[in-house]
Amino acid sequence: MILLPSATSYMELVMLILLMGPFCGCCATLFFCLVGDCMSVRRLPFTFGVLGTTNSFFYFTKPFVFGHFRDVVRSYDGLFQATGTLTLFTGEYEVLQMYACGEISQTCRPITDHSNACNSPKERSMRH
């Protein structure tokens, strides 16, 4: 997404979008599964309630952000770059957070036993 403003032709834009599409589709599909695995299925309604409340705040700020880039900056290039940078930063932060908590070394391994492959050690011990 960071490279979208640098596209100078229609073909470059199409190629960038085609490269970005599978990753966005994968994230959109796996998001609900990962939230269910990380937050447990019991807390799923509460988790999506918190996410919805947080997203509603950002939903109402969108016109101001778009207006700033349209009226003050006079270009949407910075908006694309800011969004891409924020996406990369958030992804890196999540990976570092999982590594710091020890979740990567404990839960991210080849799936051999499907009954407890994606749960934390605490949730696995609660099941047995």
**Rg from Cα positions in the chain:** 19
Rounded CA separation 78/87 (Å): 14
pLDDT value at position 55?
81
Does the structure show a pLDDT above 90 at 11? yes
**The pLDDT of residue 102:** 65
User: Measured between alpha carbons, how far is 117 from 37 in angstroms, rounded to an integer?
Assistant: 10
The angle, 0 to 180 degrees and rounded to 10, between the axes of the packed helices 10-39 and 44-67 is 150
- pTM: predicted TM-score of the whole model, two decimal places: 0.45
Place 119 in a pLDDT band, splitting at 50, 70 and 90: low
Return all residues near 77 (Cβ < 8 A) that are at least 6 apart: 5
> For 106-113, what is the mean pLDDT?
51
Q: pLDDT-derived band of residue 125, with 50, 70 and 90 as boundaries?
A: low
Banded pLDDT at 18 (limits 50, 70, 90) = very high
Burial of residue 89 (number of CB atoms within 10 Å: 0-12, 13-18, 19+): exposed
51-101 residue pLDDT tens = 888 888 888 888 898 899 889 988 888 888 888 788 788 778 777 776 776
